[in-house]
């Protein structure tokens, strides 16, 4: 019996955003354990067709079980959502009515100590979404990056003010092989846990290293481009992000793509020849309700933005 440990966030809001049609075609670029896809497929009778992508094989195995009763409507593939344009066309989905990207980690990923995502559980420094990818791991970043490059990663992707101090401490304690070793070094460098802060002092550093390992921010930008390209006129693009850097990328991309002109505001005449290709569905970001946060604490930082293809 497979236990579905991950609770999808903002389900009602996602269904409203996508305006699911029985004859529609939808892409879940970050299917995870299949929670959102299950709700999308269950929201109409008959169910729409769906393409579900993810890099995490363990999550895909769970998603296949969860969506088994609807397998005639679903194509599940191991792939990066940044390649969704090519993949959707390869399976015959030439135009798509809705695309969902949920950029968060699942409970299963965080709670699996072998994956190395959590600073609270002892595990190897891995942090790869795709465990079959033999390139970069968190251990490589922590132990092989020059101090200055490591500080840049922690500052840029973790928005950590103490990045230089943390990078220096990491370099001075190499080699580091486990999550707890890294978390303890970061905590000492950042001032320890008794600083009155609400979050663990290693939170931002772990986030930054994970982003670096998986090239997450470049994937977000490319994924937005791909989503807009494959969406049909009137198709919806819904993106859930969990930290300020991702949300900023989504916000700025949607804002720019929905603008008539992207020239410098002080330019006397427009010379950009920009043609908007989406309109904003929600100008104000959508966040979970108090009740949802109470029932699912990990939803607290979720932010949903929606655009519609023109």
**Interval 180-208: pLDDT, tens:** 999 999 999 998 655 555 678 999 999 99
Domain boundary among 170, 199, 214: 214
- Other C-beta atoms closer than 10 Å to the C-beta of 272 total 12
Output the domain CATH number for residue 195: 1.10.150.170
Strand-pairing partners, residue 53, are: 77
Please name which of 120, 173, 178 lies closest in space to residue 150, comparing C-alpha atoms.
173
Are residue 102 and residue 222 in the same domain, yes or no?
A: yes
- Other C-beta atoms closer than 10 Å to the C-beta of 295 total 11
Q: Is residue 135 part of a domain?
A: yes
Which residue shows structure tokens 């699996």? 112
DSSP for 86-133, written as a single string: HHHHHTT--SEEEEEEE-SPPHHHHH-GGG---SSS--BS---SSTT-
d(CA 40, CA 21): 10
Determine contact, residues 135/129, Cβ cutoff 8 Å.
Answer: no
Q: Is residue 70 part of a domain?
A: yes
Are residue 27 and residue 38 in the same domain, yes or no?
A: yes
Are residue 92 and residue 238 in the same domain, yes or no?
A: yes
Q: Is residue 158 part of a domain?
A: yes
pLDDT for 3 equals: 55
CA 270-276-280 angle, 5° bins:
125
pLDDT for 37 equals: 98
Are residue 116 and residue 208 in the same domain, yes or no?
A: yes
Are residue 290 and residue 227 in the same domain, yes or no?
A: yes
Report the domain count for the chain: 2
Q: Is residue 249 part of a domain?
A: yes
Query: For residue 230, what are its two tokens?
Result: 């494959």
Element spanning 52, H or E = strand 49-54
Are residue 27 and residue 66 in the same domain, yes or no?
A: yes
Output the domain CATH number for residue 244: 3.40.50.150
pLDDT for 307 equals: 98
Are residue 145 and residue 57 in the same domain, yes or no?
A: no
pLDDT for 13 equals: 98
Please name which of 174, 165, 110 lies closest in space to residue 142, comparing C-alpha atoms.
174
d(CA 186, CA 200): 10
Q: Is residue 64 part of a domain?
A: yes
- Ramachandran class of 192: left when φ > 0, alpha when ψ lies in -120 to 50, beta otherwise: left
Domain boundary among 214, 230, 265: 214
Are residue 121 and residue 202 in the same domain, yes or no?
A: yes
Are residue 173 and residue 247 in the same domain, yes or no?
A: no
Cis peptide before 175 (omega within 30 of 0): yes
Are residue 270 and residue 139 in the same domain, yes or no?
A: no
Domain boundary among 193, 214, 235: 214
Are residue 165 and residue 186 in the same domain, yes or no?
A: yes
Are residue 137 and residue 164 in the same domain, yes or no?
A: yes
Strand-pairing partners, residue 278, are: 309
Q: Is residue 2 part of a domain?
A: no
- Other C-beta atoms closer than 10 Å to the C-beta of 284 total 7
Domain span at 279: 11-108+216-309
> pLDDT tens digits for the chain (310 residues)?
555 566 899 999 999 999 999 999 999 999 999 999 999 999 999 999 999 999 999 999 999 999 999 999 999 999 999 999 999 999 999 989 999 999 988 888 998 999 999 999 999 999 999 988 768 999 999 999 999 999 999 999 999 999 999 999 999 999 999 999 999 999 999 986 555 556 789 999 999 999 999 999 999 999 999 999 999 999 999 999 999 999 999 999 999 999 988 888 788 888 888 889 999 999 899 999 999 999 999 899 999 999 999 9
Measured over the CA atoms of residue 256, residue 259, residue 265 and residue 268, the dihedral's sign is positive
Q: Is residue 5 part of a domain?
A: no
Q: Is residue 4 part of a domain?
A: no
């Amino acid at each position: 019996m497979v236990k579905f440990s991950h609770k999808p966030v903002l389900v009602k809001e996602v269904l409203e955003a996508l305006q699911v049609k029985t004859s529609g075609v939808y892409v879940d670029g970050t299917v995870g354990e299949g929670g959102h896809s299950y709700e999308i497929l269950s929201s109409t009778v008959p169910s729409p067709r769906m393409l579900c992508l993810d890099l995490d094989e363990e999550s895909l195995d769970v998603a296949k079980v969860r969506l088994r009763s609807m397998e005639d409507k679903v194509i599940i593939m191991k792939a990066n959502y940044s390649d969704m344009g090519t993949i959707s066309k390869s399976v015959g989905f030439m135009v798509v009515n809705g695309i969902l990207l949920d950029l968060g980690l699942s409970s299963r990923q965080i709670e699996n100590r072998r994956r190395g995502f959590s600073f609270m559980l002892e595990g190897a420094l891995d942090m790869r979404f795709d465990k079959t990818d033999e390139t970069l791991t968190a251990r490589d970043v922590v132990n092989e990056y020059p101090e200055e490059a490591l500080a840049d990663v922690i500052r840029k992707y973790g928005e950590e003010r103490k990045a230089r101090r943390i990078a220096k401490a990491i370099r001075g304690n190499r080699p580091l092989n486990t999550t707890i070793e890294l978390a303890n070094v970061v905590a000492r460098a950042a001032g320890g846990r008794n600083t009155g802060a609400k979050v663990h002092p290693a939170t931002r550093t772990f986030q930054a290293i994970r982003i670096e390992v998986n090239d997450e921010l470049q994937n977000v930008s490319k994924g937005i481009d791909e989503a807009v390209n494959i969406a049909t006129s009137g198709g919806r693009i819904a993106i859930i992000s969990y930290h300020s850097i991702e949300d900023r990328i989504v916000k700025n991309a949607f804002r720019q793509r929905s603008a008539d002109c992207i020239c410098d505001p002080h330019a006397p005449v427009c010379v950009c020849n920009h043609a908007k290709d989406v309109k904003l569905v929600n100008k104000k970001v959508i966040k979970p309700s108090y009740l949802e946060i109470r029932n699912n604490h990990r939803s607290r930082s979720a932010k949903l933005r929606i655009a519609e293809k023109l």
